[in-house]
């Protein structure tokens, strides 16, 4: 099996090759992985093998062109833009195929930015499942197999999940499902039980290193910071990674430091929380994820564990100066604060109230007495 696009993941490739060679491909596979490890590319290239698309048929084609196969179906989270009664993945097919060519290691934030969801929450709804149900029960074009790749399983709402479960319980003949998610926490347990589960780990450093240009300095440091994540590696190379989130967080921390005992500065703190509130929900989640790693790195600075620290400032901020204020008395609460906000954002909590409360809690925690 030739993998033209997927970087690394050698052991997983061997496993999938074995399933093909032994005719043991399960009708439903669930791959859990962050997007930067290549779960989408894994699903796409494996799907083409299941559909018996020859390597010679792909010569000269882009990834998106190879994937526009009549027996390869896609489901991914989308959003209504107007007053339409229902919205389907196929309505965004052009954007989807553009993403496959431009950045197949994209995460949900990248995708929702691409389709401009704004402050809405992208989902997979029941109308999508009803439509795919009808499509998959039709005879395959030219006979043979059909494959459905579902990207963003955790974005499926409850009604859609129940409808999809019925499809998994009574799958159409010669039909294979490859489901992708970053976390199974919000996935219906009965859906999980119908799938053969596979966890995709970080990309091997030796494979990742081949994608760092010779002109880039500090290759070893960049590899460690990337942590096997190709998307993160690209951001590190472009030197633009998380600059917006760093600026926002540093701004909030400075206001939080000043606000303790100074009511006048609370206005600045509320203004900061309003800036967070107007971000799209996917950006809010990405900011909170960034904050969790930021505080962990600041805490590790106190123990001189440089090899474990991912942070690299894009704004000139000195993490050494913050480190003494992130200590054993507040680190767990700081991380818990951002994790809880992430949880509430996922559940469409009121953004203004959410981030206003977070800013006040951040003030209390960052000014907590040192042990």
pLDDT, tens digit (0-9, with 9 covering 90-100), for 199-216: 999 999 999 999 988 877
Domain extent at residue 17 = 10-201
Do the domain assignments include residue 258?
Answer: yes
Q: What is the CATH number of the domain that holds 134?
A: 3.40.50.300
Strand partners for 31: 180, 198
Question: 138 and 28: one domain?
Answer: yes
CB 294 within 8 A of CB 311: yes
What pLDDT, on the 0 to 100 scale, is given for residue 82?
Answer: 74
Do the domain assignments include residue 278?
Answer: yes
Question: 307 and 188: one domain?
Answer: no
What pLDDT, on the 0 to 100 scale, is given for residue 240?
Answer: 46
Can you tell me the mean pLDDT for 138-145? Answer: 84
Buried b (16+ CB within 10 A) or exposed e, 245-264: bbebbbbbbebbbbbeeeee
For the chain, give the mean pLDDT: 88
What pLDDT, on the 0 to 100 scale, is given for residue 241?
Answer: 47
User: Which is nearest to 9 in space by CA: 25, 28, 27, 33?
Assistant: 33
Question: 70 and 172: one domain?
Answer: yes
What pLDDT, on the 0 to 100 scale, is given for residue 288?
Answer: 92
- 325 pLDDT higher than 80: yes
Do the domain assignments include residue 159?
Answer: yes
Question: 287 and 138: one domain?
Answer: no
CB 219 within 8 A of CB 212: yes
Do the domain assignments include residue 3?
Answer: no
Can you tell me the mean pLDDT for 132-146? Answer: 87
Last residue of a domain, one of 201, 233, 266: 201
Question: 194 and 307: one domain?
Answer: no
Question: 170 and 279: one domain?
Answer: no
Number of structural domains found in the chain:
2
Question: 257 and 322: one domain?
Answer: yes
Question: 179 and 53: one domain?
Answer: yes
Q: Mind listing the pLDDT tens digit for each residue in 231-283?
A: 988 877 765 446 788 999 999 999 999 887 777 778 889 999 999 998 877 78
Do the domain assignments include residue 208?
Answer: no
Q: How far apart are CA 39 and CA 35, in angstroms?
A: 6
Question: 16 and 165: one domain?
Answer: yes
């Amino acid at each position: 099996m030739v993998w033209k696009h997927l970087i690394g993941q050698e052991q997983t490739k061997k496993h999938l090759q074995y399933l093909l060679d032994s005719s043991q491909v399960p009708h439903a596979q669930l791959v859990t992985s962050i997007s930067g490890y290549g779960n989408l590319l894994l699903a796409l290239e494996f799907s083409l093998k299941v559909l018996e698309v020859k390597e010679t048929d792909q010569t000269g084609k882009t990834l998106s062109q190879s994937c526009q196969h009549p027996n390869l179906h896609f489901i991914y989270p989308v959003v209504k833009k107007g007053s339409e009664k229902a919205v389907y993945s196929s309505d965004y097919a052009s954007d989807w195929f553009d993403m496959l060519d431009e950045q197949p290691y994209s995460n949900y934030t990248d995708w929702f930015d691409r389709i401009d969801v704004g402050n809405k929450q992208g989902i997979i709804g029941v109308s999508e499942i009803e439509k795919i149900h009808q499509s998959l029960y039709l005879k395959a074009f030219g006979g043979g197999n059909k494959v459905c790749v579902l990207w963003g399983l955790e974005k499926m709402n409850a009604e859609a999940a129940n409808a999809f479960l019925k499809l998994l319980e009574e799958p159409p003949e010669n039909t294979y499902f490859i489901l992708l998610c970053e976390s199974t926490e919000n996935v219906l347990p009965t859906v999980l039980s119908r799938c053969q589960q596979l966890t995709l780990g970080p990309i091997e450093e030796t494979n990742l290193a081949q994608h760092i240009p010779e002109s880039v300095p500090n290759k070893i440091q960049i590899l460690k910071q990337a942590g096997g994540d190709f998307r993160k590696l690209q951001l590190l190379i472009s030197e633009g990674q998380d600059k917006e989130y760093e600026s926002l967080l540093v701004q909030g921390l400075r206001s939080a430091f000043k606000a303790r005992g100074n009511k006048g500065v609370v206005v600045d703190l509320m203004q900061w929380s309003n800036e967070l509130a107007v971000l799209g929900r996917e950006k809010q989640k990405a900011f909170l994820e960034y904050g969790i790693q930021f505080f962990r790195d600041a805490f590790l600075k106190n123990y001189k564990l440089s090899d474990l620290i991912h942070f690299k400032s894009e704004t000139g901020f000195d993490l050494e100066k913050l480190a003494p204020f992130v200590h054993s008395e507040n680190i767990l609460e700081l991380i818990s604060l951002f994790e809880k906000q992430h949880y509430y954002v996922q559940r469409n909590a009121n953004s203004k109230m959410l981030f206003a409360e977070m800013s006040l809690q951040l003030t209390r925690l960052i000014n907590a007495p040192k042990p």
